Amino acid sequence: MQLVGAAPGAAGGQLFERAHQVITALIRRLELAPGETFAEGDLAERLALSKTPVRESLLVLRQMGLVDARAGSGYTVRPLGDVVGLWRFAAILERASASRAIAEASIAGLDPRIRGFVATDPRVAMILGLILGPASMPPWASEASIDHYVAKLLAIHRVIVGCSADPYILRASMHLQVDMERSIRMALAASQAKGIEPPNPDDTALAMAILGRDTDTADALLVTRSVIAAWVFEALELAGDPPSFAA
C-alpha cells in the first residue's frame, strides 16, 4: 500500500517510502525526541536525501499527528499526550481482539501478517511469535537489548490484536504503535535512572488461552497486562522531563 502523499512515479515513490520509514523510525526510537524542533533541509541532509521525499514524508507524519509545522522554525516532534489513555485504549483493543478470536476460533480469517505465524502448528507458531527469545535483564544493558525488549512488548500487542482480523481494530492499533514504542523507550530510560525493574513481558499463556478458547483464563491474563501499563505510568511520572539513557 502506497502512503498518501507519496511522490509520483516509481523512483519518487521509493524515495518517499525510504524517507518515511527512516523518519518514522527516528521518532519511534526517540532519536528525534518529543518536543525537538528541526528544519526540513537539515533532516534531508542528515538522511542524504533530497528535500522533496522528506517534505512528502513530513506531510504524512503531520496527518498522523506525529509532527507539527512551525511557521519560520521548521517542524516539531509532537510530545506524548495522554499516556494513560493510550495504554487503556490498547488494552481495550486487546480485549476485544481476544474475545472475538475465542468466539470465532478461526485461523483462516487472521490478518495475513499474523497468519504467517500459524502456517504449520497454530499453537507452536503463535508462541514463537510472542516469545522472540529470552528477555534481557536489565533491558538497557545495550542498544540491542533495548530494541529486543521493545520489539517483544509490541509483538505481543500485534499478535493479540491480529487475532481478531477486524480491520477497524487493526487500523486503530497501527495508529497507537508509534506512541506505544515511544512511551516504552522513555519508560526504560526512566527505569534505568530511577532503579525501577521493568516487567518481564512473557505472555505465552495468553496465546494458549486464546487459541484454546479459554475465555476465563484469557480475561485473567489480559488483566495482568495492566502491569506493563502501570510500569510505564510510574516510570514516566518519576522521570518528569523526557528521560534519556545514561552513558
> What are the extents of the domains in the chain?
10-77, 83-239
- Per-residue pLDDT at 4 exceeds 60: no
How would residue 126 be classed by pLDDT, with cut points 50, 70 and 90? very low
CA 26 – CA 30 distance, rounded (Å): 6
Of 155, 172, 60, 169, nearest to 114 by C-alpha is: 155
Please report the pLDDT score of residue 82 as a whole number: 84
CATH topology of domain 10-77: Arc Repressor Mutant, subunit A (1.10.10)
Phi/psi at 102 (5° precision): -65, -40
Mean pLDDT across 175-193: 90
- Per-residue pLDDT at 81 exceeds 70: yes
- Per-residue pLDDT at 120 exceeds 90: no
Burial class of 58 by CB neighbour count within 10 A (0 to 12, 13 to 18, 19+): buried
Mean pLDDT across 66-89: 88
Please report the pLDDT score of residue 122 as a whole number: 46
Q: Are 148 and 137 in contact (CB under 8 A)?
A: no
CA 102 – CA 96 distance, rounded (Å): 10
Among 67-76, 106-115, 221-230, the range scoring the smallest mean pLDDT is 106-115
How would residue 104 be classed by pLDDT, with cut points 50, 70 and 90? low
**Strand, helix or coil at 69?**
strand
User: Of the spans 25-39, 105-119, 138-152, 209-223, which averages the highest pLDDT?
Assistant: 25-39
Please report the pLDDT score of residue 243 as a whole number: 57
